Amino acid sequence: GAGVSQTPSNKVTEKGKYVELRCDPISGHTALYWYRQSLGQGPEFLIYFQGTGAADDSGLPNDRFFAVRPEGSVSTLKIQRTERGDSAVYLCASSPLSGLAKNIQYFGAGTRLSVL
Amino acid sequence: DAKTTQPNSMESNEEEPVHLPCNHSTISGTDYIHWYRQLPSQGPEYVIHGLTSNVNNRMASLAIAEDRKSSTLILHRATLRDAAVYYCIQSTDSNYQLIWGAGTKLIIKP
């Protein structure tokens, strides 16, 4: 079946601009996660959704970052007034909340964001 | 901060077994050990996870020490496609927030 899909795969923007990154989770997965990964480091947690609501947004670095999941499926990560330090790969993952796979997170290939 | 420690890198020969170590000395009784791997330019991929007993699946085996303060991921016969960064992660059953370290970069020599 289809895995987690992230678009675009690459995004180049200028400092100060607004960007939106999209994540299509695996169908039926209630949980959705956003991570950020800098070069040579492991992923860093940003936010977790259970259904439509953000159950934990403690990893969002500041109020320029915001994420939504209005219908409990597709999610959008929004970054306002981008800064060069926001350049990273943004990863999305989804998982079911029950069953044998409930402890497993399935990742997309990520969106590489470059802020010039 | 990550609760696990792993070597920065390891090398192995193709078609030989690989043992990737992980220390998790602060683990509690209900914490799971998860392993993910990340191939170049891809998102992380689940490998295996366990609580107390050793675990096997089609990708690998997970050997957990009796005191649970360390574990070893075993790739039984490494191929060039197994070259990746391998992450060992400690988390509770209900803790969705995986805390990742820098992982071990596995290099496979032909």
CA B31, CA B41: separation in Å to the nearest integer?
30
CA A16, CA A81: separation in Å to the nearest integer?
4
Span B42-54, average pLDDT: 93
- Tens of pLDDT along A16-71? 999 999 999 999 999 999 999 999 999 999 999 999 999 899 999 999 999 999 99
Q: Please name the residue of chain A whose CA is at the shortest distance from the CA of residue B100.
A: A42
B105 touches chain A (CB under 8 A): no
Query: Which conformational region is residue B94 in: left (phi greater than 0), alpha (psi within -120 to 50 degrees), or beta?
Result: alpha
Pairing verdict, β B9-13 and B104-109: parallel
For the cut 70, the answer to whether the pLDDT of residue A88 exceeds it is yes
**CA B57, chain centre distance (Å):** 13
A93 touches chain B (CB under 8 A): yes
- Judge contact between A87 and A18, C-beta under 8 A: no
For the cut 80, the answer to whether the pLDDT of residue B85 exceeds it is yes
- pLDDT value for A2: 84
- Tens of pLDDT along A106-115? 999 999 999 9
CB contacts of B43 in chain A (<8 Å) are: 4, 91, 93, 107-110
Degrees, nearest 5: CA angle B25-B27-B29: 140
For the cut 90, the answer to whether the pLDDT of residue B43 exceeds it is yes
CB contacts of A104 in chain B (<8 Å) are: 46, 49
Q: Which of A9, A58, A103 should be substituted to probe chain B, the one whose Cβ sees the most B Cβ atoms within 10 Å? A: A103
pLDDT-derived band at B91 (thresholds 50, 70, 90) equals confident
pLDDT-derived band at B30 (thresholds 50, 70, 90) equals confident
pLDDT-derived band at B60 (thresholds 50, 70, 90) equals very high
What is the overall mean pLDDT for chain B? 92
Q: Mind telling me how many Å the CA of B4 is from chain A's nearest CA?
A: 12
Mention every residue, 6+ apart, whose C-beta is less than 8 A from residue A50: A30, A31, A97
- pLDDT value for A102: 76
For the cut 80, the answer to whether the pLDDT of residue B32 exceeds it is yes
- CA B84, B57, A96, B43: dihedral to nearest 10 degrees? 10
